[in-house]
Amino acid sequence: MAERPRYMAPQIPDDEEIQKEDNIRCLTTLGHFGFECFPYQLVNRSIQQGFAFNILCVGETGIGKSTLIDTLFNTNLKDNKSSHFYSNVGLKIQTYELQESNVQLKLTVVKTVGYGDQLNKETSYQPIIDYIDAQLEAYLQEELKIKRSFFEYHDSRVHVCLYFISPTGHSLKSLDLLTMKNIDSRVNIIPLIAKADTISKNDLQKFKSKIMNELISNGIQIYQFPTDDETTAQVNSSMNGLLPFAVVGSMDEVKVGKRMVRGRHYPWGVLQVENENHCDFVKLRDMLLCTNMENLKEQTHTQHYECYRCCRLQKMGFTDVGPDNQPVSFQEIYEAKRQEFYDQCQRQEEELKQRFMQLVKEKETTLKEAEKELQDKFEHLKRVQQEEIMKLEEERRQLEEEIIDFYKMKASSETLQTQVCTNTKKDKDRKK
């Protein structure tokens, strides 16, 4: 008996089975192919690879950043208390490997240090921008490499920024507005009202709407939970209406009835962190970790990274269309850039040559002038010396004449003296 084929050959469908839609034929499969298992393959691969998530916490010192992160992951991530006396804002980066069931999570938490502690807060947001950009740049550089190794590459791009707002009950501080305005195009911002247990229920509602109005009137874009997936659309859109989340953090275990819960114990009662009537902590955790972590990562890649990449490549001179609005290829741009660079080098070389010639000419003129000056000086000195020689010659001549005169006078005086002596002797002899 002939062996039965493992898979039935697909039969050619009747014309009625072919639905035409944008020239794509939709066929009903008549046998089992196996591609219904694609999703499982993806799940298995993801579990094997593990997940990575990078959170940036921006907020004043002591506002509750470390406590909230510990509470979110129900782990003591062992962070020391920060000082209020830093002269500049800094960032503390810590990476942890966490595991829940068989899912591994490489969690990177970046927290601001010294934020809001300086008198002059004008540039407090700069280190935050620099950090976000540096991670986007690192990814871009990896992408531009010839030999890319995305499998081992640790993607450090910030997936979400939890912005901690002080529970003042009044309004946002100018530092909050300035920072959020400057980072909103680079990262997904989720605003949080920190230490929400310090604010009453009525004040909290007013404070929330005040914050949202201020964000809108200052044109600040915060992350919106996506509503395009029908499985999460309803919950996400209701959560969008609850932003900013009012959160409370605590790792303390408090007894409520017969149960131990995480909360903060006050003289007047217990605030239960995971009780949705007490604060929005559970909503934040669900939105951040259960429902939208993948979307946050996707937004980081498709929106923020794309925007950064586009600007950087444009700054480098790359473009998709030429001056005549015609598409241009990477090769054409590269060739044009190369030619431009070559021309620029030529121009610079020519300019340098001209400058060199000019300098040589200037130097020659100065040297010639100096030579002429020296020649004039020499001529002058020569003249002065000749005059001096002439003067000395004249003086010598006069002296020689004087000497001759002197000797003449001396000779005549000697003759005279001899005559006088002779006459005196004659006179003496005569008297004798």
Ligand X SMILES: Nc1nc2c(ncn2[C@@H]2O[C@H](COP(=O)(O)OP(=O)(O)O)[C@@H](O)[C@H]2O)c(=O)[nH]1
Nearest-approach distance from CB 157 to Mg ion, in angstroms: 22
Give the range of 13-21, 55-63, 142-150, 408-416 binding ligand X by CB under 6 A: 55-63
Question: Which residues between 302 and 341 bind Mg ion (CB under 5 A)?
Answer: none
Question: Which residues between 68 and 97 bind Mg ion (CB under 5 A)?
Answer: 79
In the list ligand X, Mg ion, none, the entry touching 198 (Cβ below 5 to 8 angstroms by class) is: ligand X
With 0-12 / 13-18 / 19 or more C-beta atoms within 10 angstroms meaning exposed / middle / buried, residue 194 is buried
Question: Which residues between 357 and 376 bind Mg ion (CB under 5 A)?
Answer: none
* Spatial separation of the C-alpha atoms in residues 277 and 427, rounded to whole Å: 167
Give the range of 19-27, 59-67, 86-94, 228-236 binding ligand X by CB under 6 A: 59-67
Give the range of 41-49, 66-74, 223-231, 417-425 binding Mg ion by CB under 5 A: 66-74
Which single residue brings its beta carbon nearest to ligand X? 64
- Report CA 363 to chain centroid distance, whole Å: 46
In the list ligand X, Mg ion, none, the entry touching 304 (Cβ below 5 to 8 angstroms by class) is: none
Give the range of 39-47, 60-68, 224-232, 375-383 binding ligand X by CB under 6 A: 60-68
Give the range of 33-41, 46-54, 63-71, 96-104 binding ligand X by CB under 6 A: 63-71
Chain position carrying tokens 């001396």: 410
With CB under 5 A as the contact rule, the residue among 53, 54, 60, 66 that binds Mg ion is 66
* Spatial separation of the C-alpha atoms in residues 33 and 8, rounded to whole Å: 10
Per-residue x/- marks for ligand X, 67-106, CB under 6 A?
A: x-------------xx------------------------
With 0-12 / 13-18 / 19 or more C-beta atoms within 10 angstroms meaning exposed / middle / buried, residue 221 is middle
Interior angle at CA 265, CA 260 and CA 267, nearest 5: 135
* Contact flag: residue 66 with ligand X (CB under 6 A): yes
Site size with ligand X, rule: CB under 6 A: 16
With CB under 6 A as the contact rule, the residue among 53, 54, 61, 299 that binds ligand X is 61
Nearest-approach distance from CB 61 to Mg ion, in angstroms: 7
Cβ proximity to ligand X, 54 vs 67, nearer residue? 67
Cβ proximity to Mg ion, 93 vs 390, nearer residue? 93
With CB under 6 A as the contact rule, the residue among 53, 55, 56, 65 that binds ligand X is 65
Give the range of 54-62, 225-233, 289-297, 299-307 binding ligand X by CB under 6 A: 54-62
In the list ligand X, Mg ion, none, the entry touching 297 (Cβ below 5 to 8 angstroms by class) is: none
* Number of other CB atoms surrounding residue 282 within 10 Å: 16
Cβ proximity to ligand X, 63 vs 187, nearer residue? 63
With CB under 6 A as the contact rule, the residue among 54, 55, 64, 304 that binds ligand X is 64
* Contact flag: residue 248 with ligand X (CB under 6 A): yes
Cβ proximity to ligand X, 196 vs 243, nearer residue? 196
With 0-12 / 13-18 / 19 or more C-beta atoms within 10 angstroms meaning exposed / middle / buried, residue 48 is exposed
Cβ proximity to ligand X, 67 vs 179, nearer residue? 67
* Distance set, CA 85 to CA 61, 91, 124, 255, 419 (Å): 10, 14, 14, 37, 123
Question: Which residues between 189 and 218 bind ligand X (CB under 6 A)?
Answer: 195, 197-198
Give the range of 41-49, 65-73, 137-145, 371-379 binding ligand X by CB under 6 A: 65-73
Binding site for ligand X (CB under 6 A): 59, 61-67, 81-82, 195, 197-198, 248-249, 264
Chain residues binding Mg ion by CB under 5 A are 66, 79
